[in-house]
């Protein structure tokens, strides 16, 4: 009797189903991780902007009149102002009473 070696259609179907189940679990988690990373990067940008506001105050003895006083200054941001990684059209807003950059919703 001759034994045939190979993969049956049933075995192949089981492997495909297992791979489909694994990707159904993994893909949403990966996309959620990317969203969380962008949100954390935006929060970090706000912290950096607030630190730069305090540095400006320490250097000049007064808080900036607007956020562009810092973001357009290459001493504070030599590579240009930070942009929100979640939404590039969403600009950071400066509150002149609290001297802090406001968090924005994503």
Q: For 9-27, give the DSSP string.
A: HHHHHHHHHHHHHHHHHHH
pLDDT number for residue 6 = 76
- Among 77, 80, 70, smallest CA distance to 101 is for 70
How far is Cα 43 from Cα 47, in angstroms, rounded to an integer? 6
Can you give the residue ranges of every domain in the chain?
A: 37-106
The strand pairing partners of 94, in sequence order, are 101
- What is the phi/psi pair of residue 19, to 5°? -65, -40
Mean pLDDT, the chain cut into blocks of 10 residues (106 residues total): 78 94 89 89 95 96 95 92 87 93 81
pLDDT number for residue 60 = 94
pTM (2 decimals)?
A: 0.72
CA 14 to centroid of chain Cα atoms: 38
């Amino acid at each position: 009797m001759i034994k045939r070696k190979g993969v049956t259609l049933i075995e192949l179907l089981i492997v495909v189903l297992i791979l489909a189940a694994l990707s159904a679990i993994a893909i949403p988690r990966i996309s959620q991780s990317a969203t969380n990373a962008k949100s954390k990067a935006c929060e970090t940008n706000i912290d950096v902007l607030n630190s730069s506001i305090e540095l400006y105050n320490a250097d000049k003895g007064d808080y900036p009149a607007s956020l562009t006083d810092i973001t357009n200054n290459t001493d504070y941001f030599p590579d240009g102002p930070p942009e929100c990684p979640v939404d590039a059209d969403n600009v950071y807003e400066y509150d002149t009473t609290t001297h802090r950059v406001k968090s924005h919703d994503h």
